[in-house]
Each structure stands twice: as C-alpha cells, then as structure tokens.
Chain A
Amino acid sequence: MLWQICKQEFYWMFRKDPRRAFYLFGSSVFYVILFGLLYSPNVVNYIPMVVYDQDQTVLSRSLVQSFADSQRYHIVDYVTSEEEVDAAIQNKAAHAAISIPPNFARDIKKGLSSQVLVSANGSNIAIGNAIISSAQEIIAAFSARVSQGLAENAVGLLPTPAAHYSAPVNFQLRVLNNPNLGYLNFFVLGVVMAALQEGILLALGSSLLNDKHDMDHFSKGRPLILLIGKLLPYWLGGMIAFVCSTWLSVLLFDIPCKGNMVQLLLLGAAFTFAVTALGGLAALAFSDEVNFNRLVLIYAVPAFIYSGYTWPQQSMDMFSFLLSCTFPMTYVTSNLRSLMVSGYAPNLASGIGILFLMGAMAFCLAGFVYHGQRMRFLQKQTNTAGAE
C-alpha cells in the first residue's frame, strides 16, 4: 500500500506535474550557481578612493602609495579641497577618502604627531568594514616604519631596537575557518538552505492541495499510511537536493567541506524531514494552492533573517530570539556552515534533535488533521450518494 502511494507520487512528480520535481531539485541548485557566481570575487576589493593631500611631500606621497599598493583600494582621483572630498563621497565617485593635513611631514619630523583622516561612506557596511580594518592596518604599518626612522635619528637608537621602541606591541591576527573573511563561505550555504526549504514547500503544496479533491483514490487506505506515502517522496527528494546543492557548492565554488559525511547527511535528513512535515501540516490548513504559495514566498525572507545565520541570535531581543527558535532554518544554517567550513559544529546534536522533534510533532498533528478532513470528505460523499 505504502509503496503504491509513493510510486504514484513519484509518477506525479516526474511525469504528470514535473513542476514539482523542478521546484524540489531546481531551486536549491539554481541558487547555488546564482549566488556562487555573485559572491565569487569573495572579498570587496578595489574600493574607489579619493586622495586629498595637503602636504605634497615625499612622506605624504609614500603614505598615499601604501594605499595605492593595497589591492583593497583603487585611487580614482586626487582632489584639492575638503568640499571635493565630501562631494566625491556623496556622489559615490568614491566610497573612501584619505585626507593628509598640511605640515604632515614637518610635524612628524619635529616629533609632533600628525593625524591622517580617513573618511568612509558608512551606508553599506560590507564596504565600510573593509575600509576600517584595512585603513587602520595600512596606517599602523606606515606609522611604525616612520617611528623607527625617528627613533634612529632623533633618539640615536640602532635600527632593531628603534623598531621595537616604536611598535612595542604588534598586532597579530589569526582568523579561523574563513581566513580572508570571504563572502562565499559566509553567505552562500544559508541562502541555498532557504531555497531548498522553498522548493520542498512549493512542491509539497502542489501535491497535497491538488489531490485534496480526489481523496477517494485511496479511500480504503489508513490515513496515516496515506500521509506517509505522500510525504516520503518529498523528504527523499529534499535529501537528494540537499546533497546535490552542497556538493555543487564544493565542486564549483571551492567552499570547503571539512565535516564528517555522516553528520552532514544527518543534518540534511533532519532539516528536510522537519520542513516536509511542517509544510505538510501548513498545506493541510489551506484550501487552495495559490494562497499557500503566497504564504511560502512571504515566509522565506523572515525565516532566513531570523535564523541567526547573519545577525547572531545572542544580539536579538527576547521576542526575536523566541521567534527564531520556532523556525527550522535556525537549526540548520549555522550548523551547516560550521560543519562545512570548520569541520565541527558545537550545536549539531541539539540542532538535529530539535529538527527531528519538530518534524515528528508536526507530522502527528498533520496526521490528525488529515484524518479529520478525510472523514468529513467521505461523509459528504455518503450523504450525496444517499440523497441521490
């Protein structure tokens, strides 16, 4: 019986209504390729920058050169007034500007320090972050170099101690898991999970809501078996889509896959199970596919943003935190990223557990609802038959 229902469902999925297969497999694969391509540059480089050098000395030019040498910046213009700096940033001709004060070289040689001003357009944080950390680094390195020269000349130290005096504490940075702070590793997997979820929900809605009107096909079967038979193919299909899309992200875009295969598969199975069961329950509450699809599309963005994948859960207020706990995405996205990129996800076990629990609860509820709906349907049929 179960096998027959599954077979029929597969038949529908691939032959009679191939849209379902397309959504199920296509959406996540489509997103991997699309967003892999979008984020393939990985880090924001060549930020357009203008230079306002009021000093025009060898020293100031060598500072400008340090910025020009870094591939982070692309110097687009040299300007001659503060107004032009502001105008360039406001017109977006540049996202960053460096202003070197007059007497820059003289002040430094005299032993008075001098301040270099970096202006950044903060509207886009992805650009702003890149500017702040790299500008700080470039200026610190430059300052240490200059200071070393000063210590040699003014104080009369030998080069090595001079260097140590001028920068006694060096900053050393080790970034684990995503060493160049790239966007590919950070972002793509989560978006793909959002697409996978959408794909499962749309395909499932199409199946459950189209067949609602001809439930008598299997009127003799037990409702639980019927429901399992309808959901199982989508769970399996979702698993295959999960494997394909993560595999493609590794193959095409070199996203590392350090995690253990069994753990990855378990996570995928738990997530697709929870989504299938919850989706089944939600679809049963709707009477037509059009409105169910509307809900699915509206749900996509909040589910992604509340998952803690980008904005961390610990920075959420109580309400948002609680809401985020109810979405299956929350338990898959960060875990998947950690597992793939660093090979270990500390919340993996609890995540998998919660997802299976969520799925099981939703499935039981869906069973009740389905049973009720079918009883009503059969009763109506008997009534009409009796009336005739």
Chain B
Amino acid sequence: MDILTIIRRELRMMFVDEPKIAAILFGVPVLYVILFGMVYSANIVKTIPTVVYDQNQTEVSRTFIQAFEDSERFRIVAYTSSQEEMDFILQQEAAQVAVVIPPDFSRDIKKGSATQALLVVNGNNLLFANPAIGSAQEIVQTFSAGAGRQLMEKTGQLPTAALGNAAPVRFGLRVLNNPTYGYANFIIGGLGANGLQLGIVLAICTTLTAVYRREKDWRGISSVRIVIGKLLPYWLWGMVSFAAYLVIADQFLLLPVKGNPGELFLIGSAFVFAVSAIGLFFSAIAPNEVQAVQLPIAYIMPAFLFSGYIWPDFAMNTFSQLVSTILPLTYAAVNIRDLMLAGYAPDLYRGVLVLSAMGGLLLSLSVSIVAFRRRRLRLKEHQPGMEGTE
C-alpha cells in the first residue's frame, strides 16, 4: 500500500466513517474563538461599581466625585454616610471600589495643607482592581494638579507658571500594539491556538491505537509510511481549521490581524505539525483508545498557562521556565498574538524552527514505538498458547 492510499483511507475515516473526528478537529478551535469572542465582546471592563463616602459634602468634594462619575471606568452605585455602611457594601460586593473623602477635604486644600483621598479596592479579581487603580490614579493626579495650580496662582504666579510649578512632570503614556488594553485582543489569539491544539490532539490520538487493534490489515506496510500517511490528513485539516479561526477573528470579531499571511501560515503549519506529532505520540504509547484520549488532560491546560502567554517568561521561576520550554504552545501562541497585534513577531523564526524540530523528534519516536509494538503483536500471535486473540 503506498502512502497515498493510506492518506485516502485516513481521510475516508475522518470524513465518512467517523465524521465526528473531522468535526472535532475543525469545530473545537472555531467554537472556542466564537464562544470567547462573545464572552470578551465588551473588550474592556468599564462601569466598575463604585461607592462614595463623602465626609466633606462641599462643592470641591462634589467636583472630585464628578470626575469619577464622568469617567466611563466607574459607575457610582451608592453614596454612604458611614464607614460601616461602606465596608458592608464592599463586603457584599455590591461595589468593587470605594472613594473616601476626608471631612476637611475642601478646607485643607484651600488652606494649602495637603489632604488625602482614599481609594479602597477589592483585590479579589484583578480584572476589576487593575483598571480601577490605574484610572483612579489618573483622575486624582489631574484633580490635584488643577488644585495646585490655583494655589500657586494665589501666591501671585501667572496661570501657566502656576501649573508648571504645581505639576512640573507630566505623565505621557503610549501603549503600543493594544492601545485600549482590549482583553479580547489580548487573549483570543492564544485561546484559539489552545483550541486548535485540543482539537488536533483529541482527533488524532486514537488513530494509531486503531492500527494496533487491527494489526493484520496493516501487514507489510512500513511503520514510517503508516505514521506519515496518518499525520498528513490531520495536518492539512488542522491548517484549514487554523485559517478558519483567523478569518473569524478578523472578519467577525473584528480583531486586528496585522501580520502577513505568509508568516502566519508558517507559524501555523509548524505548530499544527508539532501538535499533530504530539497527538500521534500519545496515540503510539497509549494501551487503548480510552487512555489515548485521557493522556492529553495532563497536557492541555498546563500548556496554555505555562506558555508565557499570560504570565510572562521573565517572571517565571526556573521550574516553570523548564516546563514552558518543552511545550509547543510556548513557541506559537505569543508569536501568533504578536503577528496579530503588532504585525511583527521577533521570535517567529526561532519558534518555527523549534516547533519543526520538536515535531520531527516526536514523529521519529512515534515511528519507533509503532514499529516496536507491531513487532510484539506479531510475535505474540505466532507463539501458540498466548492470549491476545480477542
């Protein structure tokens, strides 16, 4: 049987005999991109519920609160008149943030003795806490600069000089690649790649166990041919799925996909190759189909979180860095995000090389394992009195 026949047979199995295999491979990444595209459709966490405890109740304090109200980031849900009430609201999580204004807020500012505005943040969910702190800092500083300017003016300075003296160093921020800090932009590329890897592994991991089960059908065909013939259809279909998830991200979720298609194709094909090889490897070593499907569980979730996609590699300890080095998603996910958001990925070619080498290595390992197990199966059959003739 030549390799084309094996490929045709495998394609037939994927699409005709067991169409769920093709559906899983194509469907999981597409489903993930759509599902997560929807969940993150707001893109930015806005209108964070906020409670105000204004002990001052003056025009100045109200102007200060107004600044919070005007920012899209906060939504004032309650005004309280006591510390206990405020703590209660925070504890009940009716508000995630509290703004506390001290009793002599206005008087202290006007007198030229400094005052303090307190921001209380519930740190449980960083997706609330981080943007709340950033925005509040900005609001307070702007307000403080304005108040400082008025004070300086009172000492007889001209307005411009007063502002210059009150806020001599201004903070300018330029956020590259993802200027609005969109969460969807940040995470969808990687979740899609994770879905793709899950789809491929789940689809391919039973293909070699089927060879062991019906060893006789495959007599006389070299193990190299079997493994490669089985890999190619999954690789091709995986590429289709990869393209589909990028098209959905670009066309329907309107996420930026700035990278050039050639480079995206390159990293995609290397990644699909490496992951297919991992799936085949699981399939080659698994005693039966059930365990072939269970083996990936130890791999899928860590693969995403250890890939450096969220938690950066320079902040990992040595153990985590080692784990991250052996996972293919490490070389693909960040590169895919860079290509999408920045249009350029500095580690692209390194990633492609490592993934190809990884795939090659796993593929040769799988071939040796398949050859070894097939030989054992044949030996078992020739020895009379052995069980294993189910």
Contacts and interface: CB of A to CB of B under 8 A. Distances in A.
Interface of A: 19, 23, 27, 30-31, 34-35, 37-41, 43-48, 63, 86, 89-92, 95, 107-108, 110-129, 132-133, 135-137, 139-140, 142-143, 146-147, 150-151, 154-155, 157, 161, 163-179, 181, 183, 185-186, 191, 194-195, 198, 202, 206, 289-291, 293-294, 297-298, 300-302, 305-306, 309-312, 314-317, 319-320, 324, 334, 337-338, 341-342, 344, 346-347
The 5 nearest A-B residue pairs measured at CB: A178-B123, A122-B178, A143-B169, A169-B144, A164-B114
Contacts of A39: 311
A113 B181 contact: no
Contacts of B166: 147, 165-166
Contacts, number: 366
Interface residues of B, number: 121
Contacts of B341: 122-123
12 contacts: A38-B311, A113-B169, A123-B177, A143-B168, A165-B152, A167-B144, A171-B117, A176-B90, A176-B122, A198-B297, A302-B32, A342-B124
Contacts of A191: 301, 305
A250 B109 CA distance: 45
Main secondary structure on B side of the interface with A: helix
Interface of B: 20, 24, 28, 31-32, 35-36, 38-42, 45-47, 49, 64, 90-94, 108-109, 112-131, 133-134, 136-138, 140-141, 143-144, 147-148, 151-152, 155, 157, 160-161, 163-179, 181, 183, 185-186, 191, 194-195, 198, 202, 206, 289-294, 296-298, 300-302, 304-306, 309-312, 314-317, 319-320, 323, 337-338, 341-342, 344, 346-347
Contacts of B347: 92
Contacts of B304: 301
Given A123-B337, A169-B109, A191-B301, A338 B314 contact: no
Given A38-B320, A155-B152, A169 B147 contact: yes
Given A111-B165, A320-B38, 10 more contacts: A35-B305, A41-B315, A155-B157, A167-B114, A170-B114, A170-B144, A177-B124, A181-B133, A186-B124, A290-B289
Contacts of A40: 317
Contact of B169 (A116, A293, A324): A116
A186 B311 CA distance: 13
Contact of A164 (B113, B294, B298, B320): B113
Contact of A176 (B47, B123, B170): B123
B169 A114 contact: yes
B157 A125 contact: no
Contacts of B157: 111, 154-155
B164 A133 contact: no
A41 B116 contact: no
Contacts of A133: 130, 133-134, 137
B178 A113 contact: no
B170 A206 contact: no
Nearest to A43: B315
B214 to A, nearest CB: 16
Contacts of B292: 290
A136 B144 CA distance: 14
